[in-house]
Amino acid sequence: MGSDGKEVATQILPYIRVYKDGSVERLADSPIVPPSASDPETGVSSKDIIVSQNPPISARIYLPKHLVNQHQHPKVPILVYFHGGGFCFESAFSFAETKFMNRLACLANAVLISIEYRLAPEHSLPIAYEDCWAALQWVVSHANGDCDSDKEPWISTHVDSDRLYIGGDSAGANLAHNILLRAGSEDLNNGVKIKGAFLTHPYFWGSKPVGSEMKDVEEREKSAMYTMWHFVYPEAPGGVDNPMMNPVAPEAPSLAGLGCSRLLVSVAGKDLLRDRVIMYYNAVKESGWKGELELVDVEGEDHAFHILVYESENAEKLIKRLASFLV
């Protein structure tokens, strides 16, 4: 039974609970907050926009203070960002994500757009991958210079499409990785290329243990990394060794095909995913990929600390590093 007496169908604690009547309780969500004409801490402006009616995709877009009310319009980079949350909780409109994005937009002096993709279990994977690809295509559609009614003026006016970046944390970094692979084999609108991407504590997993991961099969199959993937993508061919979750699986496409020229991978010392992400970094390095690759390893911190423990000194340092990447 849940806290309100309803029968529980399935749950992954402390993140999410699904009831037999079909309702979903997201236990780990940060509160939803409105956008701001001027964030008190950073001066960054934000607003919520519709990316697509069908499929239904929305976003929160951020404009640095120095670009607001300027008569001249200097062109700046744009970051298309995918939030974390195991593909089934959190939101581009949450307090934690908005706090992080305001800080990042301020430090990077870039336009940021955080995509509100659809979540499992109501919308099982691969829907989130398709939503994020569609949102990216919408962003780069602005590069033709037209001022159509469906275009977002903050993008049309302020963005240098030659400086397109994507990024994400946790499940969002998994989304970004898979978008990079797709961009390596499919064209983006208007011939735009992704200049760079950052993957912060990406949610990757697999059936075989790596490094310090638990070795016992039963223990692995009870872990949140395993159960979450089966929960959000129950039809995934190969389970946790599906290439979307395990980018070094035998059937996975070559990492030499990542569709960007710069890649920044971040890990945290206490994160259970750390060793697997370092393996991913090394696999990219050994794949023959021609881009500029960098690893940031922060000791003593846990998964997504830069968002969840945002007041810490290490969080501030990592956000500054991510901002300096967006050039």
User: Judging by beta carbons within 10 Å of its beta carbon (0-12, 13-18, 19+), is residue 262 exposed, middle or buried?
Assistant: middle
Please list the residues that pair with 52 across neighbouring strands.
57
Name the catalytic one among 39, 131, 241, 271: 271
Residue whose tokens read 């940060």: 30
Residue 322 identity (one-letter amino acid): L
216: left (phi over 0), alpha (psi -120 to 50) or beta: beta
> Closest by alpha carbon to 73, among 63, 82, 62, 83?
63
C-alpha span between 266 and 32 (Å, rounded)? 27
Name the catalytic one among 45, 58, 170, 266: 170
C-alpha span between 319 and 310 (Å, rounded)? 9
C-alpha span between 304 and 294 (Å, rounded)? 18
C-alpha span between 180 and 50 (Å, rounded)? 23
Task: Specify whether 271 is catalytic.
Answer: yes
> Closest by alpha carbon to 187, among 129, 146, 137, 262?
137
Contact partners, residue 141, CB within 8 Å, separation at least 6: 151, 189, 190
Contact partners, residue 246, CB within 8 Å, separation at least 6: 204, 205, 206, 207, 238, 240, 252
> Closest by alpha carbon to 178, among 233, 259, 236, 108?
259
Q: What residues are annotated to the active site?
A: 170, 271
